[in-house]
């Protein structure tokens, strides 16, 4: 079980770090997911990418893992409105020119799974890894 939890942690960390990288590669696509009234869209996209890097890094270390897991769960909750905005207004994924309405709504359904995942792999146990 410890090995499976460790694997789950590192898969999450790698995916989350890569998600941060995509904020710099597809910055304008991510900015499009924010409503028109939001100021400093690109800056928000860049800061959120850096936050994802920082959280991924903090998840690696046992001393910061639990707090980073909770912070990551909160971060994932905070980005849900952007996902709803993209789904409602049919805004394509940041790396795409075309949108798939079904995929946009399914992405929202995966958010609770990601939240559960990070909380599960960052939860303290009797054994540290």
Place 127 in a pLDDT band, splitting at 50, 70 and 90. Answer: low
pTM of the model: 0.90
pLDDT in tens, 1-11: 789 999 999 99
User: What pLDDT, on a 0 to 100 scale, did the predictor assign at position 126?
Assistant: 52
Q: How confident is the model at residue 109 (pLDDT cuts 50, 70, 90)?
A: very high
Rounded to an integer, what distance in angstroms lies between the CA atom of residue 45 and that of residue 47?
6
Domain boundaries, the chain: 2-122
Which whole-number Å values give the CA distances from 107 to 1, 65, 120, in the listed order? Answer: 28, 25, 20
Query: What one-character-per-residue DSSP string does 23-92 give?
Result: HHHSHHHHHTTS-TT-S-HHHHHHHHHHHHHHHHHHHHSHHHHHHHHHHHHHHHHHTHHHHHHHHHTTPP
pLDDT digits (tens, 9 = 90+) for 14-50: 999 999 999 999 999 999 999 999 999 999 999 999 9
């Amino acid at each position: 079980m410890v090995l499976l939890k460790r694997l789950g942690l590192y898969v999450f960390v790698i995916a989350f770090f890569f998600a941060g990288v995509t904020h710099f590669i597809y910055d304008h696509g991510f900015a499009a997911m924010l409503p028109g009234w939001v100021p400093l869209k690109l800056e928000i996209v860049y800061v959120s990418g850096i936050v994802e890097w920082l959280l991924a890094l903090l998840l690696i270390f046992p001393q910061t893992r639990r707090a980073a897991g909770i912070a990551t769960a909160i971060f994932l909750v905070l980005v849900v409105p952007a996902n709803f905005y993209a789904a409602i207004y049919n805004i394509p994924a940041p790396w795409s020119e075309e949108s798939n309405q079904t995929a946009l709504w399914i992405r929202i359904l995966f958010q609770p799974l990601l939240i559960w995942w990070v909380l599960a792999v960052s939860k303290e146990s009797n054994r540290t890894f």
